[in-house]
Amino acid sequence: MYYFFCSVKGTEYTNYKGVVVPAKSMGTACNCKLKCFKNISDNQQMEAYTKFYNLSTKDEQDLYLQGLIHFKPVQQRRSLAQSREEYVRNSTFIYYIIVDSQRNKVCKKAFLNFHFLSNKRLQRLQQLLPSGTTPKDKRGKQVSANTILATEKIRIHEHTTPLDHISLPQFRSDSENYVSTKLS
């Protein structure tokens, strides 16, 4: 669970496999017509970056990011073949960065690089935004496939308690008992 905390904070950590994950840093500048990185000074960039990574949980970070993303329905469509209709986008997304209490419009690449995000995380937030649902951090909440439920453990214990037990002192200590071979 330590690596969940460090990955949220953007600091260097060793994951559960023993691999050292480097600290997160701001990405490279984009070359778009908005000139996203040129219009914002280095100090303002670092301020926006540290504000994001000072949020304590991934849920807070996701809510913050959703507040910086605006979506609107597609205004005009071209006629397409029916086979491609399922792949058509329904929304256009506009990205902002908060600098000095003002929202500055940036491109998608700059938005990802300012916050050192993956495209997959951004896509998840974009899917949740039109439906109005808040993102939930589900890491580490799943039940292990090998877990035996407590009720099952009690049933097993109740089933094996009345069985005849024999002790094998020549092989094990006196406290260990084994189920009789007559029961098989």
DSSP per-residue string spanning 121-132: HHHHHHHHTTTT
Q: pTM of the prediction?
A: 0.67
Question: In this structure, are 155 and 100 located in the same domain?
Answer: no
* 142 found inside a domain: no
Residues 124, 157: one domain? no
Same domain, 45 and 122: yes
Listed in sequence order, the DSSP H helices in 28-184 are 42-53, 58-68, 108-115, 119-128, 150-160
Pair 107, 168 in one domain: no
Query: Hey, how many other C-beta atoms are within 10 angstroms of the C-beta on 162?
Result: 6
Residue 122 included in any domain: yes
DSSP 8-state class, residue 145? T
pLDDT at 184: 53
Per-residue pLDDT of the chain in tens (184 residues, 90 and over written 9): 555 566 677 778 888 788 888 888 777 888 889 888 888 888 988 888 888 888 888 899 999 999 999 999 888 777 765 556 666 678 899 999 998 889 999 999 999 988 889 999 999 999 999 888 888 887 777 777 888 888 888 888 888 776 655 555 555 555 556 666 665 5
Domain that holds residue 177: 150-183
In a domain, 171, yes or no: yes
Same structural domain for residues 66 and 100?
Answer: yes
10 Å CB burial of residue 158 (0-12, 13-18, 19+) is exposed
Clarify whether residues 175 and 105 are in a common domain. no
**Roughly how many angstroms between the first and final C-alpha of the chain, as a whole number?**
44
